[in-house]
Structure 1
Amino acid sequence: MVYRSMGEDPWSFAGKTYSEIAEVAERDGSVLIVPVGSIEQHGHHMPVGTDTILVDAVANLGAERVVDDVPVLVTPPIWTGYSPHHMGFGGTVTLDHDDLLTVLEGIGESALENGFDALLLLNGHGGNASLISSATSTIGRHHSEVEVLGLTYFQLATEFISDIRESDVGGMGHAGEFETSLMLHLRPDLVREDRLEGTPQDEQYDQAGQDLLVGGPLSVYRTFEKYTESGAIGEPELASAAKGEEIFENLGEQLSDLLNQIHEQNAESVTTSG
């Protein structure tokens, strides 16, 4: 996949003037997407910017697929997240929990001053998930006239991943088969294919999450050194660019369906209230 410079796409918030942003926001059912990533270690074979690169790509793919029908803009990604559990490996830049929540609230609330009907916080890092949920609630409480939503993008893959994955449960963890495949498709130049190494996730509690796409009701905190020596969890050696392309296209379909629903829901609400 060839990346264009920030601002070239018609759905790019950063590439528009303030009056052009207002024109999009003022249309019925307008949607603003804020991608939220992280800078953290991804084993020996993947760059620390993986989560930010992937969530930004998915957000832009979803917007690209609906831009002819939906007034939608995508902001530049928030590049740091909540990653204290990765600090032991190095290469990680993290915010404290409350600081990241404040950042999300500030970005969301100020962006909504432009007049959008809906805000989607699109998350790309598992450690941010609870914060995205909290920010959705706190921003929404102060902007009851706007629909505020939060989503971790890779959860969209639960609808189709069983037809693609080769690994057993535990193989699609952090920097495992899933994320490595996406990076091999999107940014193969950043994947060190001669250093593919991971440890399949072996969770002690049956009720806890078993890998990236097999969750559980039990939350457990451990540093990553307790799971893996390399920093990667899963089976990255099963990754391929072909799988990554299939995953990416399916994610685009799932996200574009959601964006259409958000638009229709809020366009109807605006029409009804008017």
Structure 2
Amino acid sequence: MHSFIPPQHFFPYLTWTDIQTMPNKEDVVIIQPVGAIEQHGPHLPLIVDAAIGVGVLGRALEKLDASIPVYALPTLYYGKSNEHWHFPGTITLSTETLTAIIMEVGESIYQAGFRKLVLMNSHGGQPQVMQMAARDLHVKYNDFLIFPLFTWRVPHITKELLTPKEAQLGMHAGDAETSIMLAILPEQVKMEKAVAEYPPEHPESSLLSWEGKLPVAWVTRDISKSGVIGDATTATKEKGDRILESVADGWVQVLKDIYAFKQPQTDE
């Protein structure tokens, strides 16, 4: 049931009396992994985002100092994935439904006495939902500290392992995601079906981008026939192992930071 998460860090394995008597609950870090069930090209399974999130988190928790109390909730496998729903198999929640789930999970964690919740999101189509829900939870409960984090935003070496073109344009089911899946769930990767497909490039004079500071709203079929946005053919398990370790190391550091974080107090 705990998948890649070390069992001693898996929240559902606790009893209610474990939680009732847990010391210093205001400093205990609770993590809600959030993924997606959506197409990732012809070579990767629908579970990619959720698998990467729980794989990275599990490795990070294996490395984390045992004195730091961190518990992972069951992964929320469904997310807001409507940019992919023209491809069969994608399952999507609406923004409203995903927000409601995050809010209600957060309220349950708060009522149990915890005051630190990490939204560990691994799907690029929903960071804004995490951020808005986090702000609303903090507005509702001022002493509730919510951290809406994207799995790939911690320091890591991934771009050093990619070609310049892939580092710039590879956004979905390309080298990085395929490589890390070869490290996490190799039996579910069909490398013989891997393809390379990049989105149309904007003119050099244009300030617009597909993802970046000045983005254009798009759905996947606008910019990819295969569902891949990047080059999956260059992926290797060796790269995936290095990416997994690097991203996990970044998460070890951020979890330490969250455990030590105190809410700022301003003079009234």
> 3-state SS of the aligned residue for 1:150?
strand
Q: 1:161 aligns with which of 153, 158, 161?
A: 158
Q: Which residue in 2 is equivalent to 1:177?
A: 175
Instruction: Using the TM superposition, name which of 136-145 and 160-169 deviates more.
Output: 160-169
Alignment of 1:37-56 (within 5 A): 37-56=35-54
Q: How many matched pairs? A: 262
Q: Is the 8 A contact 1:41 1:231 kept in 2?
A: yes
SS at match of 2:77: coil
- Alignment of structure 1 residues 95-106 onto 2, 5 Å: 95-106=93-104
Quick one: structure 1 residues 207 and 134, their matched pair in 2 at CA, closer, same or farther if it must change by over 3 Å? Answer: farther
- Alpha-carbon contact 2:119-2:148 (below 8 Å) kept: yes
Aligned to 2:87: 89
- Matched letter for residue 160 of structure 2: D
| C-alpha distance after superposition, 1:3-62 (max 9, x if no partner) | 964786100012221222344473452100000000100000000111111111122222
The answer for the alignment partner of 1:264 in structure 2 is 260
Change (3 A) 1:191 1:6: closer
CA distance in 1, matches of 2:153, 2:85: 25
Q: Give me the CA root mean square deviation.
A: 2.3
Letter in 2 for 1:238: T
Shift of residue 132 of structure 1?
0.7
Could you say what secondary structure the match of 1:57 adopts?
helix
CA drift of 1:118 comes to 0.9
User: Are the aligned partners of 2:25 and 2:113 in contact in 1 as well (CA < 8 Å)?
Assistant: no
Residue 171 of structure 1, CA deviation:
4.8
Separation of aligned partners in 2, 1:182 and 1:21: 34
| SS of equivalent to 1:232 | coil
User: Once the two structures are superposed, what CA deviation does each residue of 1:150-197 show, in whole Å capped at 9, x if it has no partner?
Assistant: 11111225x533322235244531000111011000000000011001
5+ unaligned residues in a row in structure 1: which ranges? 270-274
- The 5 Å alignment of 1:114-153 reads 114-153=112-151
Inter-partner Cα distance in structure 2 for 1:6 and 1:257:
19
Change (3 A) 1:136 1:165: same
Q: Which amino acid in 1 is paired with 2:27?
A: G
Match of 1:68 in 2: 66
Q: Which residue of 2 aligns with 1:228?
A: 224
TM-score for the superposition, normalised by structure 1: 0.87
Q: Which amino acid aligns with 1:247?
A: I
Letter paired with 2:159: S
Percent of counterpart pairs with the same letter? 26
- Mean Cα displacement is larger for which, 16-25 or 177-186? 16-25
Return the alpha-carbon distance in structure 2 between the equivalents of residues 25 and 40 of structure 1: 40
Q: Which runs of 5+ in 2 are unaligned?
A: none
